[in-house]
Amino acid sequence: MKANLREGYIAGPGGRLWYGVCGEGGVGTPLLVVHGGPGFLSMTETYADLAGERRVYFYDQLGGGRSDRAADPSRYCVDGFVAELAAVREALSLKEVFLLGFSWGAALVCSYLLAHRPPGVKGLILSGPLLSTPLWERDQRRLVGRLPASLKEVIRTAEETGDFGEAYEGAMMSFYRRHLCLLDPWPPALEEAFGRLSLEVYNALWGPSEFTCTGTLKNLDLTDRLHLIGEPVLLTCGDRDEADPRTVKEFQLAFPNADMAVLPRASHFHHLEQPGIYKALLRGFMNAIEEGSVEED
């Protein structure tokens, strides 16, 4: 797959941004994948398998992966990343496009639509979506409440003292193996991605605790504005996802034109755990829109 990925750099508002594209012979509407984190990087696994029908694009957001670090850290904010997504789309000449946002990437994609109302977006795919920090924190507390008492105490102590050391990291990994990725061992690509996570970006937007936001996303809540997004939307999550399926259902009902799928025996990285189901869902959604059987705004 790597051999079929053409890579390059484009100029973004805050520095050079890495991008990759595969399936350049595909005739369908291109798909642009917007990764999560914040501060993560693009993982091409599963998504690249869709390249037989269409071009699939990836890019690393400023400060993460193979892209430049910001000279001015104040660029690590929602407005900065929204401007960056607009620049990426223009640089790649994606006049018509499907946008796929994973986790934090879902908030970024929806914020971009709400800020710019851009033409040519054929549909949105929001996987494990973060669209409201208050709701995300509520759900994390619910899931943490199911952990063994010793792990709950470690998390509570870390958040009170600010000591996010080895004990906290162990508790966090126990949570991750329940709700982030159920595969054992984790795929090498996921291990690599976590090893390259930009803490500068993550801490600026979210903060040092996985479960309580203290960064600039603290007051992010798009719920009351989702009705303004009329494009067709597909929301996906795992049945054990940290993006709680009940909350994802709330988001689905807030959009005027949205469907939802909960993948069985899967968590946040459900596209890695259930790739066959995930790809079938995405193909069905995009093909239906292109064939005109799903109404666009």
Which residues are catalytic, by number?
103, 241, 268
Whole-angstrom CA distances from 165 to 208, 214, 268 are 10, 18, 24
Distance separating alpha carbons of residues 59 and 18, to the nearest angstrom: 6
